[in-house]
Amino acid sequence: MKENPIRSLPGIPYLFGVLLLTALAVWGFVSAVNTPDGMVSGWLILGSVVVAVVALLTLVGLYMVEPNQAAVLSLFGKYVGTVKENGLRWNNPFYAKRKVSQRVRNFESGKLKVNELEGSPIEIAAVIVWQVVDSAEAVYNVDDYESFVHIQSEAALRTMATSYPYDQHEEGQVSLRSHAAEISQHLGDELAERLADAGVKVLEARISHLAYAPEIAQAMLQRQQANAIIAARTRIVAGAVGMVEMALDELQKNGVVQLDEERKAAMVSNLLVVLCGDRSTQPIVNTGSLY
């Protein structure tokens, strides 16, 4: 069911008109009481009472619409239309009116415990920014659109979390921790698909909390530290090999010293120990011959 905008009458002029009509009915009632002709006064009294009662009953049709709010109108269970004009408005007194806020709202989901793509338990939470854009769908397509948004948001978050690993283990792999923009886009698309029938538009969805579950947090920390050490050592070795090659090339090019293969191997070994060691080396000074 799609939203159908309808017009409404300004409430303040209508209110003044009803008050004026009621005042005239009261004046007619008082005049009829003071009229000596019983037949005329009886009809005048009856007419004044009927006019005053009808005028006052039509005041039920008055209602207030605030900024960024919509009034969904129905007649005996049938959807009539939606009024978005602000201020005091008037429509048929028999219309049932339900107010729907179209302001931007947000909420943070609770911390959900789910298994990521590789099966490790993690804790994850998200902040969802949303807005009602179709009041008719929000009222008639779901029973309680606010509860619907909360439940579907948690379901979408669970589905998204199981589609990615927590950490990036391969070059170019999308993970929960390293690709915040891609993860937010995926979560937003998942929510938009789930909430479209409820007349709700998702403006933003982003991860607000991400961590390993407490029972494996220590083990995962050790794994991360080991990966960091391996990556650092790999880079150090690569740099050290390049420096050794450069040193040998410069010595040979400048004719500083002529080394056979055995001495080259010893020099390479010593340089790698110096460059790759995690502690300061203690040099041994050879004051004798080279060999």
Query: How is residue 207 annotated by DSSP?
Result: E
The predicted model scores a pTM of: 0.68
Write out the two tokens for 291: 């060999």
Q: What is the pLDDT of residue 204?
A: 92
List the beta bridge partners of residue 75: 78
Q: What is the pLDDT of residue 241?
A: 78
- Give yes or no for a contact between 69 and 82, defined as CB atoms under 8 angstroms apart: no
Architecture of domain 105-212: 2-Layer Sandwich (3.30)
pLDDT digits 0-9 by tens, 224-263: 666 777 777 777 777 777 877 787 777 777 766 666 677 6
Distance CA 219, CA 222 (A): 5
Q: What is the pLDDT of residue 249?
A: 75
- Sheet (strand 9-10) strand order: 9-10, 87-90, 62-65
Mean pLDDT by 10 residues, the chain (291 residues): 88 87 79 63 73 84 92 93 92 92 91 86 92 93 92 92 83 82 91 91 91 71 69 76 76 68 70 66 57 52
Q: Give the domain ranges of the chain.
A: 9-98, 105-212, 217-276
